[in-house]
Structure 1
Amino acid sequence: MLYSLSRCCCVKLKIILPVICLFIFTSPLYAAKTGKTEELAAGIPKTASIELAADFGLPSKTFSFKVPKNAYGVRITLSNSSADLDLFINHGSKPDELSLVDFSSEEDDYNESIFITRQSESPLESGIYYVSAVYQYDYLPMIDGKRVENIDFSIKYEVITSEPEAVLRPGYARSLVLKPENGMFAVVSVDIPRGTASFRIDVFDTDADIDIFASTKTAAKSRDEAMYASESMLGSESLHIGGYSGSRLTTGRYYISLIDQLAKELPRELSIIVTLGEDAPGKITEIPRMPEPADSFESAVLSTIEVISGNGKGSGCLLSRDGLFVTNWHVVRGADGSPSDEIFAAVSLSVYNPPVEMFSAQLIDYNEELDLALLQINAGRYGQSLPFGYDFPYYRLGDSAALRIGQPLGILGYPEVGGTGSRTSITFTSGIVSGFEAAPGCSLIKTDASISSGNSGGAVINAYYELLGIPGYIMDINNDKMGYIYPVTCFPEEWIDRIKLANDR
């Protein structure tokens, strides 16, 4: 019995694969037999059956469902299938040509699922969608030792709406959880009283990279729908509304959409507060003292900070008790080639969690040729003054000139691969000095230690937890990787003098 040429057929007939695959994509045999369409109701499973008739076309069953305007996402799930069915979804028309559909799921699981949101690569649209459950094999499935000519299954369509889950009161914080089953998306609302000139929205106490969309009338489900938006690389996101010269703030109800656009696997907690006026509330502006490290390794962890700029993230190394630190120039370089307008520093108060975004920094100097930058922590995250006499942990500089090939190295930083969420906790890797390479201004250190995006500007340390240099970049040729380190001997002399002076005070 031949329904069509399928993935199984292509595996078995390898010799004629090019001809077969061409035939599949140009022949009517690679079309689903959609037949009569049944309508799905949101949240209500529908039981159905596919007849495996011996004629042309892929055996399938097609359904329609409506995406309302207030939907952020939809999930379509197959269940209780006795054979391997695949899902194909199209907006506005039936998915007859399976190679041309908007969405598909063709896993080996019998019961497929597709989750589509307004943030998907092909964004969810309002209106009518069609979904086909398709059997793509060219043989009858076997159930309980017998060949069957019908496949029974259930299908369910669920809607994740953009309706507010809470109403905020200005000045009062609220805790929320972004959940994978809701697309890491939540909406709250707040009523801004008449006469308010400006207000601000602050997200805090979160391990995720949260973005904020705000609108009146309806909740924004994407940036395009938002009247106001804040999408920085910070977890502690802030959005200021109003206070613009010559403009009058619209008061009344605002809808605030909160979303983690990068990670979808684990739920993430957050707190949010709306404050009338422009100043950050006292609840989030207190700067705790840096903890006293128990040993040299804890000191190294505290001295390795995450650096966040308007154009990227990286790592950095504290070098003085008053907050001088070094990183790579490309970490704090703006897209236009000039320094980023805002630069923030985050500290690892726990090795189990992403660092806490506690400080702001200003650029002191940079060397574009060496890809190095020297910065100074000069304020808290929200621009508030540092407490009097505030001291930072810091690295002591090691003797990178004394390194020899084969000696061990350790690397601390915040690589993107160091976490399953949208932000990462501090990560330690190790390797050896693999060699050296002459470069303009100084010689670089080669290493086999794992270095990846986000490590830039972090710490390369020896067994005494002294700073030997900072990771700069990697070379990757045919999956053979080599890391390159800027040793402390590359640091400009005037930087070294400034660091020594700061620590001698």
Structure 2
Amino acid sequence: MITTIFRALFPLALLTVTVLQPLRGNDVIPVEAGIPVRSELVLERDARASREFRLTVPADAVSLSISVTDAPVPLEILVRTGSGSILAVHDTSQVGGSLVLQRLGSPALPTGPLLVEISFQTRPSDAGQAPTRIPFVLEAGLVMIELTEVLRPGQRVQGILEPERGMLNAFAIDVPATADALRFDVSGAAGTLDLFVFFEELRGDLRTADHRSVSPLGQESILIGGDSGRTLLPGRWFVVVTDQTARRFVDSFEVIASFDSDPPRELLGFPDLPLNRSGLQGVLDATVQVVTPRGSGSAVFIGETGYLLTNQHVIADFSAGGWGLPVIAVTLDPGVPPRELFRAIVVEEDPVRDLALLRIESGLYGQPIPSGYLFPSIPVASPAGLSFGDTLLFTGYPRFGGRGSRATITVSSGIVAGFELVPDGLVLKTDAAIGPGNSGGAAVNSRYELVGLPAEVMGLGSSGIGYIVSTGMIPPRWLTLAGATRAD
């Protein structure tokens, strides 16, 4: 059966007419993106039936989706390259299903012809129950890369990332022969942004970009020319802004292109951070996110001059000598992910106790901290007064705590479920919901005083027990160095 689609646009409706034609069993059906194809599988002597389709992925495609609907039973989707090698398999246990291939995915979407096989395999349990004819509808969707806007130097442009457009925007700028540098800066997104830069030709295969800036940060920059070591040529340059981790939510951002090596002035300022707020709000103010090469963790300010405590395993990548200085992100609005504002240095670390002391060193772009600039902090209490069943609150940035690809600050609660004496002090146990990303955040008592840092979870699901490095394990000289307020 070959499907022909006729669309007639009326004021209130989109009418689709499908014409079915006879098809021989061994025919390969051509498929065009966006046009549904109605077909069927016929089970005869053997217990397996399949149908093959052919489509072509153009060079300017970013992603491909293949969906199967209207089938009465679960069907398998198998994708082969033009040479016959298996690229991907999707075997769903539910009726209907879809498969998405992306240029940056694994496996990566190739350019050129693909064969799509839809099949059904009966199982012994299906004896006498499997249908002999299985109708279904196949539809392929391609997201193509398109130029969003041509930028002017210094112009702030708003971009929108939408799932149906592949979560990317492409911009261009014309670079004159007199320019010594080209810089792109993006900011203001809720998700994790990446930049892919092309010279003269915009391509859908982002893996072929001439330059790229890929990290867990929500604010990205890339410099070409200047002192970057990247050669800047006159002509048209393209930058693709994308979030390859969050594919279900619309996000927005701002992009600025300039012929300057330095960041735009509007990105270099520091907000006035809230100070001396009481109760839980003060704990939230003092709890920040630490962005690492492999993801993120949490930390808590214990001194108004910018000293923080976190777990040593959170900053292990930095202490090993990689990826520059840790990035510190601060929550200014609890409804959105924290804003990446600062870089910190590791002042002290103790892998045995899983503790590290950090200090704010500069702004995100290396700009100096203004004289007299203060940070929110919370008092540090001894864990000696805690008893079984006492309530604890935890603040941090668990990976499951955000709507998109970056977490928002999250509060969870639990009780003191146990104690464990170790050579260097006291470890607390709790039944609170603690997940990856919570490490290094704040564990506070009923007076909102710091009593520990959540470090890890042992076990699964509701039986999981969280382990907290208590404040009794913090070296006293760290607290003195930080100028921490001691609650007792």
Q: Fold conserved (TM > 0.5)?
A: yes
Cα pair 2:380 2:485 within 8 Å, conserved: no
- Aligned partner of 2:200 in structure 1 is 217
Cα pair 2:150 2:173 within 8 Å, conserved: yes
**Aligned equivalents of 1:246, 1:436: Cα separation in 2:** 54
- Aligned partner of 1:454 in structure 2 is 437
Unpaired runs of 5+ in structure 1? 1-32
- Residue 104 (structure 1) shift: 2.2
- Residue 331 (structure 1) shift: 1.5
**Aligned equivalents of 2:298, 2:107: Cα separation in 1:** 33
- Aligned partner of 1:473 in structure 2 is 456
- Aligned partner of 2:400 in structure 1 is 417
**Aligned equivalents of 1:467, 1:121: Cα separation in 2:** 43
Unpaired runs of 5+ in structure 2? 1-23
CA spacing shift, 1:135–1:186, aligned 2, 3 Å = same
In the alignment of these two chains, the number of paired residues is 461
**Aligned equivalents of 1:237, 1:331: Cα separation in 2:** 21
- Residue 467 (structure 1) shift: 0.7
Q: 1:394-423 CA deviation, whole Å, 9 max, x = no partner? A: 111122122222211111101112124210
Does residue 118 (structure 1) correspond to residue 103 (structure 2)? The answer is yes
**Residue in structure 2 matching 1:263, options 246, 249, 271:** 246
**Aligned equivalents of 1:465, 1:488: Cα separation in 2:** 14
**Residue in structure 1 matching 2:35, options 38, 44, 64:** 44
- Residue 321 (structure 1) shift: 1.6
**Aligned equivalents of 2:393, 2:60: Cα separation in 1:** 51
**Residue in structure 2 matching 1:54, options 44, 59, 63:** 44
After superposition, the CA RMSD in angstroms is 2.9
- Aligned partner of 2:7 in structure 1 is none
Cα pair 1:374 1:495 within 8 Å, conserved: yes
- Residue 465 (structure 1) shift: 0.9
- Residue 101 (structure 1) shift: 6.1
Q: 1:337-390 CA deviation, whole Å, 9 max, x = no partner? A: 247522111111122211111122222222222221111123222222334432
SS of 1:36's partner is coil
- Aligned partner of 1:185 in structure 2 is 168
**Aligned equivalents of 1:481, 1:387: Cα separation in 2:** 44
CA spacing shift, 1:148–1:446, aligned 2, 3 Å = closer
Cα pair 2:144 2:204 within 8 Å, conserved: no
- Aligned partner of 2:354 in structure 1 is 371
**Residue in structure 2 matching 1:66, options 32, 56, 79:** 56
Name the aligned partner's letter for residue 33 of structure 2: A
CA spacing shift, 1:246–1:233, aligned 2, 3 Å = closer
- Residue 439 (structure 1) shift: 2.1
**Residue in structure 2 matching 1:482, options 462, 465, 468:** 465
CA spacing shift, 1:497–1:160, aligned 2, 3 Å = same
**Residue in structure 1 matching 2:118, options 112, 128, 133:** 133
**Residue in structure 2 matching 1:104, options 90, 100, 109:** 90
**Aligned equivalents of 2:415, 2:50: Cα separation in 1:** 58
- Residue 462 (structure 1) shift: 0.8
CA spacing shift, 1:212–1:440, aligned 2, 3 Å = farther
**Residue in structure 1 matching 2:314, options 328, 331, 349:** 331
For normalisation by structure 1, the TM-score amounts to 0.83
**Residue in structure 2 matching 1:313, options 293, 296, 312:** 296
Name the aligned partner's letter for residue 159 of structure 2: L
**Aligned equivalents of 2:347, 2:423: Cα separation in 1:** 22
User: How do residues 216-235 of structure 1 correspond to structure 2 at under 5 angstroms?
Assistant: 216-219=199-202, 221=204, 224-235=207-218
- Residue 218 (structure 1) shift: 3.0
**Aligned equivalents of 2:216, 2:97: Cα separation in 1:** 33
- Aligned partner of 1:349 in structure 2 is 332
For normalisation by structure 2, the TM-score amounts to 0.86
Name the aligned partner's letter for residue 251 of structure 1: P
SS of 1:102's partner is strand
Name the aligned partner's letter for residue 126 of structure 1: T
- Aligned partner of 1:12 in structure 2 is none
SS of 1:165's partner is strand
How many percent of aligned residue pairs carry the same amino acid? 30
SS of 1:235's partner is coil
CA spacing shift, 1:477–1:265, aligned 2, 3 Å = closer
**Residue in structure 1 matching 2:264, options 262, 277, 281:** 281
Cα pair 1:351 1:426 within 8 Å, conserved: yes
Cα pair 1:34 1:132 within 8 Å, conserved: no
Name the aligned partner's letter for residue 42 of structure 1: A
- Aligned partner of 2:21 in structure 1 is none
**Aligned equivalents of 2:444, 2:229: Cα separation in 1:** 54
Tell me which moved more, 450-459 or 72-81.
72-81
- Aligned partner of 2:475 in structure 1 is 492
Cα pair 2:156 2:254 within 8 Å, conserved: yes
- Aligned partner of 1:91 in structure 2 is 81
- Aligned partner of 1:156 in structure 2 is 139
- Residue 151 (structure 1) shift: 4.4
Name the aligned partner's letter for residue 88 of structure 2: D
Q: 1:43-67 CA deviation, whole Å, 9 max, x = no partner? A: 33333344x2522363333210001
Q: 1:63-104 CA deviation, whole Å, 9 max, x = no partner? A: 100011221111223345566544322212569xxxx66232
- Residue 209 (structure 1) shift: 0.7
Cα pair 1:326 1:375 within 8 Å, conserved: yes
SS of 1:353's partner is coil
Cα pair 2:302 2:484 within 8 Å, conserved: no
Q: 1:248-275 CA deviation, whole Å, 9 max, x = no partner? A: 4223212212222222221222211112
CA spacing shift, 1:470–1:221, aligned 2, 3 Å = farther
CA spacing shift, 1:282–1:181, aligned 2, 3 Å = same
CA spacing shift, 1:137–1:165, aligned 2, 3 Å = farther
**Aligned equivalents of 2:103, 2:336: Cα separation in 1:** 29
Cα pair 2:198 2:209 within 8 Å, conserved: yes
- Residue 327 (structure 1) shift: 0.9
Name the aligned partner's letter for residue 383 of structure 1: G
